[in-house]
Amino acid sequence: MSDVNRNYKATLFEHIFREKAPFLDLYEACSQKRLNAGEITCFDLDSDIVQRQRYNDVSFITNDNRLIFLIEHQSTVSANLAVKLGAYYFDLLMLWVEREAVDIHAEKAVPFPKPEVYVVYNGLKPYNKGYETFESGNFMQIKVPVIPIRYENLDNKSANNNLAGYSYLQKEYEGKINEGWDRIKAFKYAVNQCKAKGYLKGFVEKEDFITVFNDVFSYDNQLRSEGKAESKAEIARKMLADGEPVDKIVRYTGLTQSEVEALRASM
């Protein structure tokens, strides 16, 4: 599958699961624990410091600062995940330090929130659910649960489960791509199949749902071909350079208006 189609998975994953309600379904599938929406607050890097080039797919922190959840979406499981996940956690931890005005130089120990890390796997290669240890030479080692989330691997396929909806949309999309369908035609078909099954309510009913992803895929693909990181900040910069209006960039990237204005001022 082409780069743009692989990148589609990450774009869609971030768009859906950075909202609290869908995240609760995803977290339950990973941890077998159910959280209430009131227990978590969004803490993703892009919404805090858009200039950073490194960010994970989905991250949340508990409101009482107990845990930082990191969920990394992979279509191919990278051998370098130990360093990637470690870097994500420390970036989030430093944002937490800034937000809480914590003095890390103080003599008294700081009760830092501990990380809870999951890798969700949506690739074609068979992958059994379980813990896997990722190493980077002698530098770092992380043992994390790897959760296969392809539709056929899910136990809960109910219409109100957003993870099932996401996985079903991908299954239908990939099926048509493999039949040689045009990317946008295949995506429209998958969206209509989700509507018929009642999946992803609140997403697929939006008039601009397909248009948003068509445009974001296009900008992502341009950036990948230029060898740049396809962060939301990079997409926004590309759209600004193309003269796109701020409100459109906000809608397509999920950044706030002030963040987009700050990017424009820095160009």
Q: Encode pLDDT of 202-214 as tens digits.
A: 888 876 677 666 6
- pTM given for the model: 0.72
Q: Could you tell me if residue 99 is left (phi over 0), alpha (psi between -120 and 50 degrees) or otherwise beta?
A: alpha
Task: Domain ranges for the chain, please list them.
Answer: 1-149
pLDDT per residue as tens digits for the range 10-53: 667 877 887 888 888 889 988 888 888 888 887 655 444 333 44
Give CA–CA dist 174/190, Å, rounded: 9
**pLDDT tens per residue across span 59-105:** 888 888 888 888 888 887 777 788 888 888 888 888 888 888 999 99
C-alpha 215/C-alpha 261 separation (Å) is 20
3-class DSSP assignment, residue 251: helix
Please, what sign has the CA dihedral across residues 43, 47, 48, 49? positive
